[in-house]
Amino acid sequence: MAAPGNAEQTQLQAMEEEEDAGVEEREMESDEEEGMGVENSEDEEEESEEDDKENEAEIQRLEEQLSINAFDYNCHVDLIKLLKQEGELLRLRKARQKMSELFPLTEEIWLDWLKDEIRLSEEDSNREKVYELFERAAKDYICPDIWLEYAQYSIGGMGSPGGIDKVRSIFERAVTAVGLHMTKGQTLWEAYREFENAVLSTVQPPPGRIPSREEQELLNTQLERIHTLFRRQLAIPLMDMETTYAEYEEWSEKGVPDTVVHLYRKALQQNEKCKSHEEALLVAEPPKLAEYQAYIDFELKEGDPARIQIMFERALAENCLVPDMWTKYATYLDRQLKIKDLVLSTHERAVRNCPWTMSLWKSYIQALERHGADHQSVSDVFEKALNAGFIQATDYVEIWQAYLDYLRRRVDFSKESSKELEELRAAFSRSLDYLKQDVEERFGESGDPSCVIMQIWARIEAHHCKNMQKARELWDNIMTKGNAKYANMWLEYYNLERAYGDMTHCRKALHRAVQCTSDYPEHVCEVLLTFERVEGTLEDWDTAVQKTETRLNRVNEQRAKAAAKETNMTRHEEEKMEQRRKAKADKKAQKKSQKSSRGGEKRKAEQDEYQEDWNEKSAPKRQKGNGDSNTDEYMETDTGLFGRNAPSGNKAAPGGAKHAQQGGGAQRHNDDQPELRDESCSVFISNLAYTLEDPEAKLEALFERCGPVKQVRLVSGNRGNFRGYGYVQFESAVSVAEALKLDRTEVGGRPMFVSPCVDKNKNPEFKVFKYHTSMEKHKIFISGLPFSCTKEQLEEICKNHGTIREVRLVTYRSGKPKGLAYVEFADEAQASQAVLKLDGIEVEGNKISVAISNPPRRNLMDKPGASRPTGETMPRQVYGSRGRGRTQLSLLPRSLHRQAAGKVENGTAADQAPPSTDGAAANAAGEPRSLSNSDFAKMLLNK
């Protein structure tokens, strides 16, 4: 035994020596590193000081901005992030406190705040403050993670007096609030069971000792608690229920009771029903509004109030800024559950999330009254509503009406005077002043042009207070606000007098109505005569007849004058239009005569020469220079005469020109032959980019799936550049219907328009393009984008706010972006959510504006290239290679002007006669000859 002991001592000494040597080496290395890192540490300190200064300056800027506008949500969030980064705990706590007073905080902000406070509260004296903070967090949103954090934190205080009971109460509240959460509820139940198992381990007697009677009772009670938790959890449809059931089977010594098995199977069936909805939520993109709505509708049909409540809470956690969802939830609670604390807390949360929605405040005031809240609470909520910042003047009128209705229901009108009645009258007076001053100053109108509030006040004074004098004063005030010309207002006043006043005032009201009414004077006169038939004397009748006849005669005279004035104005406008038309025609004729007078002598001298050239059978070509070059210059294209710069792809092959020469006439290109163009088999394509590469090949490949393509005719400009539109002709008319389905297909970053091929000369009213002029509520319009923004970047920005169907960047025909875009969402709610979240944000330094798509009404007659009615006999003007110049003269000889021009359609001469082999004979017979582009080319080249 001694030898091994010595060996162990020797080994320990060797290990200690090695360790000491290692320590010395590490100390030497650290000394070297410190010596080498002095300069680096100084640089890092300087950089950190600069960062600290920048952060402090940014913090001060954010604080100043919040002092100006305390409701800047993003500014609050940025300030909290910076303060947390700098470790300013006291300032961070104040910033969070201010934000929580104005806005409900998100789950992430609450959890960060709670974790920071938990780390700071190491002493038991501070635990109550953390508990209060948890209670505030639980009121904003029903979040399983917050409740789980709350319960776990409370476990740390279970050693204090009553600590276990407090933990149990928190767990009970947690499972009541979120225990039905299909995906996250199981975690809370498991934490509750773990806590009870921990308590069980403290009450179990040590092994081998028989417990006393009291200990056995405590043990049995604790075991029953755990059994109950298992039974409650297995009766709820949750994810992974099978694992919980297997755990219960293993834990229970007596097995699973039949009642628990029955409830478990029933919950499994319910779980299967909900599975499809949960899967839809799992794969859907936020905010998942449509999926949540479908899930809520399903639970409403099932009829379980607890499950309906948890589904609404889950939906609102992700769609807290959707007023309609809050309205549906609050309405359900008001009509079905009617639990005071739950109803009022939900209404309070609704107005905190959507303070701009008047209907939520109105429902909140009514809910407070319905559940017997004290008057001060209702008044406080109403004052908050007035400061909420509604978006239209009528909202303020409605919220005042709701509050005045509440005050009226408080009054006991059996008493002649009371505090409540005086408060009601004061509120009516204040409402009128508020609408006249505050609302009218902000919106430019009071929002109550018909004086509805004053009408209600007058009815209350007349009906409940029997104070007709006050009611008449109010109605006099109503009439002075521009309502005296409306018959319905006078009849309202007349009915009030008829019900609560006397006949004298009724007669006065009707007489005033006859004098003042301008919209329906006949009706008011008839009411007056009917009143006198029932109530009046003969003298009253005569007076009424005289007044009504006088008034109606005056009205008829005014109407006749107005009609005559309108007729004169119309005639005057027509005369002006006729004068303008004549002046325009005279100016046009004058210009035409001036143009025709220029070079008239030259044209007369050369007329015979042109006529001779016209009858020659020479080919449309000429020699260049001294005969060194023999290049054929074919002058004909789809769009006119291009000269030597005819675009590639539209020139005829040299062989074709030669064949035309040998045939004894100028033969047209196949594309210009009307017999090869069939409108019934063609579609018109447009809105393509000018810079589209190889457009003919791309379009042919795109339309081949619709059917065999016969030809693709693209329209080019004077310099041969693609104009962005053309025609696609198929072998069969059946393919046209399939081709029209490709309308708005994206080609080269722009939506291609596909429409039927229609001759606009025959159908001038036919509208080709589909242009939306109504509001597209599922689509948003974004302006102010940087030109470098791509479709992918924009889709990345918008995808967090809903399911995106299409993203389209608006560009010029040249492909240059305009800084505008349209984003189409799955439904209107997602588009509205995107507008609220994206409007005003910065993208690459540009502040963008976002709104619901509402295109302006397009005036086609003002658009360049818009179709205008033209005569069927008007030929299409053919310009030269440089387009139509300001001083360009017609090159057609005057003698040819007298020939009958054939009907022109799509740039081709219709009903062409076959080329005659003997032009002189044809002319001698006096038969008109149709002209082709080749004919004009010969005339120019042989000049």
**Residue whose token pair is 């201010």:** 98
User: Cα dist. 155→159, 192, 417 in Å?
Assistant: 8, 10, 59
**Number of DSSP helices (H) and strands (E) in the chain, helices first:** 36, 13
pLDDT of residue 395: 95
How does DSSP assign 314-375, residue by residue?
HHHHH-TT-HHHHHHHHHHIIIII--HHHHHHHHHHHHHH-TT-HHHHHHHHHHHHHTT--H
Kindly state the DSSP code that residue 682 receives in the 8-state scheme: E
Q: Is 823 helix (H, G, I), strand (E, B) or coil?
A: strand
**Phi–psi pair at 416, nearest 5 degrees:** -65, -35
Query: How is residue 624 annotated by DSSP?
Result: B
Residue range 195-227, pLDDT digits in tens: 999 999 988 888 878 888 888 899 999 999 999
> How many CB atoms neighbour CB 59 within 10 A?
19
More confident residue, 92 or 860: 92
452's tokens: 């509805």
**For residue 355, is the peptide bond before it cis, meaning its omega torsion is within 30 degrees of 0?**
no
**337-375, pLDDT tens digit by residue?**
899 999 999 999 999 989 899 999 999 999 999 999 999
Could you give the CA distance from residue 206 to residue 203 in angstroms, rounded to a whole number?
9
**Residue 297 CB: number of other CB atoms within 10 A?**
12
Q: Strand pairing partners for 847?
A: 842
Read off the tokens for 725: 């539109």
pLDDT level of residue 724 (50, 70, 90 thresholds)? confident
User: In sequence order, what are the residues at sequence separation of 6 or more whose Cβ sits closer than 8 angstroms to the Cβ of residue 720?
Assistant: 642, 645, 646, 647, 648, 650
Q: What pLDDT sits at residue 909?
A: 39
pLDDT at site 328? 96
The pLDDT value recorded for residue 388 is 87
Q: How far apart are CA 213 and CA 217, in angstroms?
A: 6
Mean pLDDT of 659-667: 37
Place of tokens 């499994």: 268
Six token digits for residue 435 = 């609408």
How far is Cα 685 from Cα 712, in angstroms, rounded to an integer? Answer: 10
| 822 has pLDDT over 60 | yes
Per-residue confidence (pLDDT) for residue 937, from 0 to 100:
65
Would you call 895 exposed, middle or buried from its count of C-beta atoms within 10 A (0-12, 13-18, 19+)?
middle
Contact yes or no for 691/814 (Cβ under 8 A): yes
Both tokens of 55, joined, read: 């952060």
Kindly state the tokens that stand for 551: 């008034």
298-314 b/e (C-beta count within 10 Å ≥ 16 → b): bbbeeeeeebbbbbbbb
| pLDDT 10s digits, 291-322 | 999 999 999 999 999 999 999 999 998 898 89
Least confident residue range of 99-103, 138-142, 484-488, 755-759: 755-759
Q: What is the per-residue pLDDT for 903?
A: 39
Please report how the helices 213-234 and 185-203 are oriented relative to each other, as an axis angle in degrees rounded to 10: 170
In terms of DSSP H, where are the helices of 723-861? 734-740, 791-798, 828-838
CA distances from 538 to 529, 535, 932 (A): 12, 10, 93
Percent above pLDDT 70 for the chain: 75
The per-residue DSSP string of 205-273 comes to PPTT----HHHHHHHHHHHHHHHHHHHHHHTS--TTHHHHHHHHHHH-SS---HHHHHHHHHHHHHHHH
Q: What is the pTM of this model?
A: 0.57
Write out pLDDT tens, residues 15-35: 445 445 454 555 555 554 445
Stretch among 228-237, 245-254, 876-885, 927-936 having the lowest mean pLDDT: 876-885
* CB 97, CB 133: distance < 8 Å: no
- What letters, b where the CB count within 10 A reaches 16 and e where it falls short, cover 207-240? eeeeeeeeeeebeeebbebbbebbbebbbbbbbe
Find the range with the poorest average confidence among 52-66, 708-722, 748-762, 886-900: 886-900
Q: Interhelix angle for 185-203 vs 163-178, to 10°?
A: 160
Q: Rounded distance, CA 376 to CA 236, Å?
A: 42
* pLDDT band, residue 121 (cuts 50/70/90): confident
Residue 44: predicted pLDDT: 63
- Over range 474-495, report the average pLDDT: 94
Of all residues in the chain, the percent with pLDDT exceeding 90 is 45
Distance CA 169, CA 158 (A): 12
Residue identified by tokens 């006065």 is 508
Which of these ranges, 445-454, 886-895, 932-941, has the smallest mean pLDDT? 886-895
- pLDDT band of residue 384 (cuts 50, 70, 90) is very high
Residue 624: pLDDT above 90?
no
**What's the mean per-residue pLDDT of the chain?**
80
pLDDT for residue 558: 92
Answer positive or negative: Cα dihedral of 336, 337, 340, 345. Answer: negative
Tens digit of each residue's pLDDT (9 = 90 or more) over 53-105:
888 899 999 999 888 888 788 899 999 999 988 888 888 999 999 999 888 88
Q: How confident is the model at residue 332 (pLDDT cuts 50, 70, 90)?
A: very high
827: closest CA among 319, 314, 307, 355? 319
Handedness of CA 513, 519, 522, 526 (dihedral sign): negative
Query: Please, are residues 285 and 252 in contact by the beta-carbon 8 Å criterion?
Result: no
Q: Is the pLDDT assigned to residue 694 strictly greater than 90? A: no
Residue 811 amino acid letter: T
The answer on pLDDT for 689 being more than 50 is yes
The whole-number pLDDT of residue 772 equals 59
In this predicted structure, what is the pLDDT of residue 690? 85
Structure tokens at 590: 């004058």
